[in-house]
Amino acid sequence: MEFPSKLIEDAVNEVSKLPGIGKKTALRLVLHLLKRDEEQTKSLAETLIAMRSKVKHCRKCHNLSDHDLCGICASHKRDRSLICVVEDTRDVLAIENTAQYKGMYHVLGGIISPVEGVGPSDLKIESLIDRLRHPDSDAVKEIILALSPTMEGDTTAFYLQKKLKGFSVKISTIARGVPIGGDLEYADEVTLGRSILSRITYE
């Protein structure tokens, strides 16, 4: 594609570095900004720079936060005996949106993936073990592994189970089965198979 302007070409190249945005979409976004007030572009740019330079990771759970300690770790209303281990901030958001969980989190910052060159040492696993060794107030009673039901997620869960064996802590994983509201006939075989194996008895 030949651009009418070097400035537009540069902008399109920068925007198309973002995941899931190709050259055509980038051009559409750039042309949109050119149609709008200069203020909008400035505001977008400045907000991104401020966000990138100021956002921190919570020193305890490694979730993204404006402060040293994130809102969840600082809160006194959360159940400190539960730690939910997730891959990244998006998972925390997803679980928080359910309003079903009142415990703490631990954000690994990724999952073990030999293909992408991510090993256990790249993740916040040591700091999870540190949290078990030096519990702040109440002792941690349960660690919930809420990792994606993929090969990488299972590998990470398996590694964590081994690492956490020495501690007197219950380890659980979120249930896998047919999604609620999903038609049974459209569930894939693996999920349906697992949901039969891990069936729940009515009490």
**Binding-site ranges for a copy of itself (CB under 8 A):** 1-8, 10-11, 14-15, 17-21, 25, 27-34, 38, 40-55, 63-66, 70-72, 88-90, 92-93, 96-97
Is the CB of residue 110 less than 8 Å from the CB of residue 87? yes
Shortest reach from residue 191's CB to a copy of itself, in Å: 23
CB nearer to a copy of itself: give 61 or 164.
61
Of 17 and 165, the one with the shorter C-beta distance to a copy of itself is 17
Task: Indicate the residue among 76 and 165 with the shorter CB distance to a copy of itself.
Answer: 76
CA atoms of 50 and 160, how far apart (whole Å): 35
Tokens of 147: 């990792």
User: Smallest distance from the beta carbon of 160 to a copy of itself, in angstroms?
Assistant: 22
Write down the least CB distance from residue 93 to a copy of itself, Å. Answer: 6
Minimum CB distance to a copy of itself, residue 165 (Å): 31
Q: Which is nearer to a copy of itself, 99 or 200 (CB)?
A: 99
Q: How far is CA 71 from the centre of its chain?
A: 16
Task: Give whichever of 65 and 164 is closer to a copy of itself, judged by the CB atom.
Answer: 65
To the nearest whole angstrom, how small is the minimum distance from the Cβ of residue 135 to a copy of itself?
Answer: 22
